Chains A and B, each alone.
Chain A
Amino acid sequence: MRRGLALALLFLLGCSRSPVMDHEQLASERKQLHSLDAETALLDRIIATKHATPTFVHAHAEYLRRASHELAQQLGKARAEPGAEAELERLRADAARLEERFIARMLL
């Protein structure tokens, strides 16, 4: 039982992030944001060449929107370590812009 609880705790530690983000964590968040942005561009290329079904495009875009929303929420709750506040603010703004783009796309 105790071992099971310890494993569960390890799992939670592995999956969760500290609300206080240092430069390294912020860089990681930046990469995730860039990844979502680049994936949207890739999806646009696929749509332009009519290489995906409308059902797939709609569903995939919704998954990406949810991912961007989660990222924006995570950044919204986070605090930056001293010296990293400006970077966190920039990330929050970029994440909000990305989410807005996804919402606009879903409304089209």
Chain B
Amino acid sequence: MKKIVQLTLGIMTALGGFVDLGQIVFTMQAGARFGYALMWSIALGAVAIILYMEMCGRVAAVAQKPVFAVVRKQLGQRLGVVTLIGSNLLNLITCAAELGAIAIVLHLFFGIDERFALVGATLVLGALVWLLHFQWIERTFGLSGLMMIVFGVAAWKLHPDWGAVTAGLVPRMPGHGSKDVLLYAYFAVGIFSALLMEYEVHFYSSGAIEEGWTAKDLPENTIVSTSGIVLGSLLTCALLILGAVVFLPDGIFPDQLSTTALPVALPMGKLALKIALLGILACVASAAVETALSAGYNVCQFYDIKWDKNIPPRDAPVFTALWVGTLIVALFIAITGIKPLTLVNFSIMFGMVMMPLTYYPILTSARDRTLMGEHATKNVQHILGWVFFGMIVIAALAAFPLMIVTHSGQP
């Protein structure tokens, strides 16, 4: 019974913590621009993240090696340092975007001044991370994120054309000139990248070690990574459906975070709007915490410095200084007034560029029989891993050129 409760909690936490600012924005914009036509990119991204998250959880459980320990081993010192700097820069930008988004949601909910909300929220988040153990951090934010289910209910209530939704799972080129094709490609890459954001695997793999997973926990790893992400992806599909049903017919391009809550208010009213805002708040707060902690995990794992969220902060001083420092610098970036959606646009594309350097070490380590023994990746999964790695490389090469030619996806 205890195991079932633990497993359910794990799945719910993974589901609640799956969506972040990038996914909310990109999928709703994609729905508003191309209807259901990019549903396939959510499916593709979901399969890829299931595959890689399972692998990194397995490597952590069996070999007790988190992501940046395998990055150092597989890429070597020089390329490893480049990956470390790039990943932590990405964590910093993403963290700043999520903090900015928290301030916007608090402003929308309570009407309080955005700068005050920004500083207050950062202090509260810092205090929570300082005081809580890893499992409680994960559960508090992950389970609060379940309020995002209200977006799924709203999508259901708006009666989308389910035939068209299903047809969107098959990629089709839009037929309105080269600009549309480039925009379509930009959003496909954006959605794919948002689903595969690196900090998710850094955090998941570090969490597996924080929670003391061993080879005995591999079934839990498979179930949590698969079920949590499948359910989380359904939520992402709901966001795309809302964009297609509510915004596309009127030619609205959701360019404000506040706009993304309107499709819930429209069919369901004030209470649902409040739940949606709280759901977004939980998701962006969760992502802010995960990116700040990941910055600490990455450096400590790469240089083999003591890290552990379950010991007093003073016993892991470098790790503590790194996540606190990331939170503070991110606060300063956000307080300059740069729009969170501008930051997240950049972080998603930059994340795509960095992705091969994180996923290649995971792919090869999970297959390494000397490291993984009988738990090394089987042939089919390994081939599938390479297929997705090929897609990741293509998307990484296309990310910045697409961002430039589409002016960051402007209609």
Residues of A within 8 A of B (CB): 7, 10-11, 13-15, 17, 24, 28, 31-32, 34-35, 38-39, 41-43, 45-46, 49-53, 55-56, 58-60, 63-64, 67
Listed by A's residue number, 15 A-B pairs whose Cβ atoms lie within 8 Å are A7-B350, A13-B404, A14-B403, A15-B342, A15-B408, A28-B410, A28-B411, A32-B410, A42-B252, A51-B266, A56-B265, A59-B258, A60-B259, A63-B258, A64-B256
Asked whether A38 and B261 contact (CB < 8 A) given A60-B256, A64-B256, the answer is no
Expressed in whole angstroms, the minimum distance between the Cβ of B60 and any Cβ of chain A is: 31
Q: Bound complex: CA of A55 vs CA of B253, how far in Å? A: 23
B262 at the interface (CB under 8 A from A): yes
Q: Bound complex: CA of A51 vs CA of B251, how far in Å? A: 21
Chain B residues lying within 8 Å of A7, measured Cβ to Cβ, are 350, 400
B175 at the interface (CB under 8 A from A): no
Expressed in whole angstroms, the minimum distance between the Cβ of A12 and any Cβ of chain B is: 10
Q: Bound complex: CA of A55 vs CA of B270, how far in Å? A: 11
Number of residues of chain B lying within 8 A (CB) of chain A: 37
Residues of B within 8 A of A (CB): 107-111, 179, 246, 250-253, 255-256, 258-259, 261-262, 265-266, 268-270, 273-274, 277, 342, 345-346, 349-350, 400, 403-404, 407-408, 410-411
Say yes or no: B407 contacts A14, CB within 8 Å.
yes
Q: Which of B108, B110, B246, B411 contacts A32 (CB 8 A)?
A: B411
Main secondary structure of the interface of B (DSSP, over half): helix
Say yes or no: B253 contacts A41, CB within 8 Å.
no
Main secondary structure of the interface of A (DSSP, over half): helix
Say yes or no: B250 contacts A38, CB within 8 Å.
yes
Say yes or no: A60 contacts B108, CB within 8 Å.
yes
Asked whether A35 and B270 contact (CB < 8 A) given A42-B262, A59-B107, A59-B111, the answer is no
Q: Bound complex: CA of A80 vs CA of B262, how far in Å? A: 35
Chain B residues lying within 8 Å of A67, measured Cβ to Cβ, are 255-256
**Additional 7 contacts, C-beta under 8 A, given A39-B252, A42-B266:** A7-B400, A28-B410, A32-B410, A35-B255, A39-B250, A52-B270, A55-B110
- Across the two chains, which residue of chain B brings its CB closest to A60? B258
Q: Bound complex: CA of A41 vs CA of B266, how far in Å? A: 12
- Across the two chains, which residue of chain A brings its CB closest to B409? A14
- Across the two chains, which residue of chain B brings its CB closest to A13? B404
Expressed in whole angstroms, the minimum distance between the Cβ of B194 and any Cβ of chain A is: 17
